[in-house]
Structure 1
Amino acid sequence: MVKEPVRILIVGGGYVGMYTALRLQRKLKSELKRGEVELVVVSPDPYMTYQPFLPEAAAGSISPRHVVVPLRRVLGQCRIVIGEARSIDHARRTATLGTLATEEGGGTEQLTYDELVLAPGSISRALPIPGLADFAIGFKTVEEAIGLRNHVIEQMDIASSTRDPAIRDAALTFVFVGGGYAGVEALGELEDMARYTARYYHNIEPEDMKWILVEASDRILPEVGEEMGTYTITQLRRRNIDVRLKTRLDSCADRIAVLSDGARFPTRTVVWTAGVKPHPVLAATDLPLNARGRLRCTPQLTVEGAPHAWAAGDAAAVPDVTAAETGTETAPNAQHAVRQAGVLGDNIAHSLRGEPLETYSHKYVGSVASLGLHKGVAHVYGRKLKGYPAWFMHRVYHLSRVPTFNRKARVLAEWTLAGVFKREIVSLGSLEHPRAEFELAAGGKHPIDPKLDPKGSS
């Protein structure tokens, strides 16, 4: 009788999912060759997105294809399933999947497993704010980053071509909600790009544009410390960026951003980066969750009280064994995610071989943030850096962390070329509507381009 291989199901193809699978490919190389183990990775996209590079992709410093890593190329010994886990019954070792095939034919697919790795990441934490779902754009995917770049340049085109001062003012007003990494870095890079782009418009000056950062707390970039956060605010305000602390977005209905301090800004651009929440699939499992909806885990990255279930990254509440206070959890960031993935892969291999498990232990070393070309802040190993040194450290650190030598070489080449040649200021917004021209030819009726319609959607 042929023994069935041990199936390891990895839910999520992001940082944790990809690196865990990569580690398992190396650790279980002989078992995979003999057919004793099967690795299955379920991911909604056939690539992993390196999110720290999204701001630079939005600014045009890096090509979109170099921000992503193809899973099939990197995980050659894994079975890649493009889809999402809809629910998981760990008691029966069964996952219900929605794949591209099931979307075409209806229904769902059942997949059994022996070991489960939950690494679905997180999603944007949206609030029931009027107009948010209709007009705002997030900043978690490469599609959103490139769409936002195209959108900003298109707004400059609209402002340059209109004679209506109200439309011009709204087009040149950009509101970013959220003072964390995503919001500050996206705003800094895009403002830098738009400032450069303005030199090619005969009737737009950088001072004509309004850039507004809205943050509900009393500080921004808390990861780099209070002093560096204050320095960042000062630098942004010197660039004529309106930073509003202790302020919330109350509404963006009818293309008017209404803030809790009473300010009102007609705008065609609202970027929402105000936090994330656990992926919905966690609530569709029979595994234990904490009050914030994350999986309760042990320092060995197993799920509490659930044998053969593992988790790491944004989905996991992992105890921080290096913290002075008990009950402290590791922060859901890339610095922990990449290290947890390595320990997770090792521990699964140890478990299959009956070996002792390792404890995840990593003391947070600090953070770096880019504020645009040659501008940044950093607080690493107790040292504080500003300006060019911090920006350079930001690039060196993330270049060392982006997966595969192929991607490292391509990103470095693009940075080198960007230092020699001028920025690209081309908007390819038409890529978002690839059938528009054919529909015109086939139907004879020109579809309304919402970007050119003052009352249309963004």
Structure 2
Amino acid sequence: MNTVTRPRILVVGAGFAGVECVRRLERKLSPDEADVTLVTPFAYQLYLPLLPQVASGVLTPQSIAVSLRRSKKYRTRIIPGGAIGVDLKSKVCVIRTITDQIVNEPYDYIVLAPGSITRTFDIPGLTDHAFGMKTLAEAAYIRDHVISQLDLADASQDPDERASRLQFVVVGGGYAGTETAACLQRLTHAAVKRYPRLDPGLIKWHLIDIAPKLMPELGDKLGSSAQEILRRRGIEISLGTSIAKAGPEEVTFTDGRVIPTRTLIWTAGVVASPLIATLGAETVKGRLAVAPEMNLPGNDGVFALGDSAAVPDLAKGDDGAMCPPTAQHALRQGKHVADNVIAALRGQSMQRYVHKDLGLVVDLGGTDAVSKPLGIELRGLPAQAVARGYHWSALRTNVAKTRVMTNWLLNAVAGDDFVRTGFQTRKAARLKDFEYTDAYLTPEQVREHIEGTGRQA
């Protein structure tokens, strides 16, 4: 069988779902059965749950970014760029490469795993002044920024400026927000001891969320335990509250409080990648509506999974529940959808996706953690062991596991270094600068582009 006639499988996204799918396709398909192509702006798989530990300096950025080019045995072609549109009728994916060239990539089978972006609202000043916690660059930048606030406060002669630089606001009481506030508070609490001129009492962390509880999935007891741990550390928790307005030097809460601060970290949830809107297909809360087999009904050879797909959660029955956008589901969906793509390719029957949630883990830094593996509630060191053990085992390569374990051991023994790299020094970079949400086409623009350029790249 020659290259021209081999079916073309295009995978969009190199997150948990996309990479697991690609690796399984490589293992189970013979080289002459299909050509596999992966579209991703970065040739690495990012282990998102550990981003707060990168922001706090416990882990190095490289340790949670697993290179997709490290092994010589993989045969998948990688296109460095981002998918900005898909025409289901023509079976063409429109890609903007990292050189800003727009190309067409035809496919026979497409697996859509573009992930999600930070969910924002129409709040004045939010995208101009808030930081996100969704990318490796954001985590590295936030670490530099937080440490620089200590340096700038130490250098300032103005008491008001000093106080504002030492107040930090995190919005979002989910796992990302809670772990980010917990890990960064530990960092500043340890670092301020190296600044004799700074009053440790000036450092204040605020964690706010519009919901009535932090991490409600944990249940009342564990959720209350997490809140108690954070409050004991001095983190002020405000529930039923959000942001009314954000400025360069202050944040206004919806309850009327005005907090002088130079640091607003926004982690209030995620939404599906804007790529999904370019398909013109049915969605559920912005996520592509797919069948339990993760294929798109009425469209041959189209599959979707992960954060951007509304996959029915059959483990919870037939009550319309959808799989939550977690790494646990994405990993398993990636393998399952690969099997279904192969089944479709070989003319076999596809299988429905069913996975019962194994539990939740929340690492609050140090010896503090709360976990709920298989419904068992744990706190303290046992919970920390489960949390880190789960994350460690989920890392895809032995190199990544070795780096992460080494970082954990080194941090436990030697503590933090409080090193500021100078990344983007004196140049502001906020949420809007890290997530290129304006790069996507509308369904009409996709069709116009393909009609004007033809199907082939």
Shared fold (TM-score greater than 0.5)?
yes
Q: CA deviation at 1:76?
A: 2.2
Q: CA deviation at 1:130?
A: 1.4
The answer to whether the Cα contact below 8 Å between 1:131 and 1:252 also exists between their aligned partners in 2 is yes
Q: Specify the alignment match of 1:113 in structure 2.
A: 107
Q: Specify the alignment match of 2:324 in structure 1.
A: 331
Q: 1:310-354, CA deviations, whole angstroms, 9 ceiling, x for partnerless residues?
A: 111001111111114521111111111111111111111122122
Q: Measured at CA, do residues 254 and 198 of structure 1 come closer, stay the same or move farther in structure 2, by a change above 3 Å?
A: closer
Q: CA deviation at 1:161?
A: 1.3
Q: Specify the alignment match of 1:38 in structure 2.
A: 35
Q: 1:287-324, CA deviations, whole angstroms, 9 ceiling, x for partnerless residues?
A: 3322x111111111111222200111001111111114
Q: Specify the alignment match of 1:281 in structure 2.
A: 275
The equivalent position to 1:381 in structure 2, one of 374, 377, 387, is 374
The equivalent position to 1:173 in structure 2, one of 163, 167, 173, is 167
Q: 1:206-249, CA deviations, whole angstroms, 9 ceiling, x for partnerless residues?
A: 32201001100100112212221111111111111110000010
Q: Specify the alignment match of 2:54 in structure 1.
A: 57
C-alpha separation in 1, matches of 2:185 and 2:26? 42
User: Where does the alignment leave 5 or more consecutive residues of structure 2 unmatched?
Assistant: 429-457
Letter in 1 for 2:77: R
Within the alignment, does 1:313 sit opposite 2:306 as a pair? yes
The answer to whether the Cα contact below 8 Å between 2:11 and 2:18 also exists between their aligned partners in 1 is yes
Q: Measured at CA, do residues 146 and 8 of structure 1 come closer, stay the same or move farther in structure 2, by a change above 3 Å?
A: same
The equivalent position to 2:346 in structure 1, one of 343, 346, 353, is 353
Report SS of the residue matched to 1:233. helix
Q: Specify the alignment match of 2:94 in structure 1.
A: 96
C-alpha separation in 2, matches of 1:450 and 1:118? 35
Q: Specify the alignment match of 2:364 in structure 1.
A: 371
Letter in 1 for 2:153: A
C-alpha separation in 2, matches of 1:162 and 1:450? 19
Letter in 1 for 2:88: H
The answer to whether the Cα contact below 8 Å between 1:11 and 1:85 also exists between their aligned partners in 2 is yes
C-alpha separation in 2, matches of 1:349 and 1:450? 48
Letter in 2 for 1:320: D
Within the alignment, does 1:160 sit opposite 2:154 as a pair? yes
Report SS of the residue matched to 1:137. coil
Q: Specify the alignment match of 2:224 in structure 1.
A: 230
Q: Specify the alignment match of 1:408 in structure 2.
A: 401
Within the alignment, does 1:47 sit opposite 2:44 as a pair? yes
Within the alignment, does 1:137 sit opposite 2:135 as a pair? no
The answer to whether the Cα contact below 8 Å between 1:176 and 1:270 also exists between their aligned partners in 2 is yes
Report SS of the residue matched to 1:169. helix
Q: CA deviation at 1:45?
A: 1.4
Q: CA deviation at 1:254?
A: 4.2
C-alpha separation in 2, matches of 1:324 and 1:418? 44
The answer to whether the Cα contact below 8 Å between 1:178 and 1:215 also exists between their aligned partners in 2 is yes
Report SS of the residue matched to 1:133. helix
The answer to whether the Cα contact below 8 Å between 2:229 and 2:368 also exists between their aligned partners in 1 is no
Q: CA deviation at 1:203?
A: 1.9
C-alpha separation in 2, matches of 1:255 and 1:306? 50
Within the alignment, does 1:262 sit opposite 2:261 as a pair? no
C-alpha separation in 2, matches of 1:70 and 1:254? 36
After the TM superposition, which residues 3-14 of structure 1 pair with which residues of structure 2 at under 5 Å, given as runs?
A: 4-14=5-15
User: Where does the alignment leave 5 or more consecutive residues of structure 1 unmatched?
Assistant: 434-448, 452-458
Count of residues in correspondence between the two structures: 426
Q: Measured at CA, do residues 286 and 5 of structure 1 come closer, stay the same or move farther in structure 2, by a change above 3 Å?
A: farther
Q: Specify the alignment match of 2:449 in structure 1.
A: none
C-alpha separation in 2, matches of 1:205 and 1:232? 27
After the TM superposition, which residues 179-194 of structure 1 pair with which residues of structure 2 at under 5 Å, given as runs?
A: 179-194=173-188
The equivalent position to 2:84 in structure 1, one of 61, 86, 106, is 86
C-alpha separation in 1, matches of 2:140 and 2:279? 34
Q: CA deviation at 1:205?
A: 4.0
Q: Specify the alignment match of 1:150 in structure 2.
A: 144
Q: Specify the alignment match of 2:434 in structure 1.
A: none
> What is the aligned-residue identity percentage?
37
The equivalent position to 1:68 in structure 2, one of 54, 65, 74, is 65
C-alpha separation in 1, matches of 2:195 and 2:260? 22
Letter in 2 for 1:25: E
Report SS of the residue matched to 1:431. coil
Q: CA deviation at 1:12?
A: 0.8
The answer to whether the Cα contact below 8 Å between 2:293 and 2:352 also exists between their aligned partners in 1 is yes
Report SS of the residue matched to 2:70. helix
Q: 1:9-36, CA deviations, whole angstroms, 9 ceiling, x for partnerless residues?
A: 01111111111001101011x2x1x3x3
The answer to whether the Cα contact below 8 Å between 1:287 and 1:306 also exists between their aligned partners in 2 is no
C-alpha separation in 1, matches of 2:74 and 2:291? 30
Q: CA deviation at 1:377?
A: 0.6
Cα-Cα RMSD:
1.5
Report SS of the residue matched to 1:139. coil
C-alpha separation in 1, matches of 2:318 and 2:24? 31
C-alpha separation in 2, matches of 1:363 and 1:207? 45
C-alpha separation in 2, matches of 1:182 and 1:73? 29
TM-score (structure 1 length as normaliser): 0.90
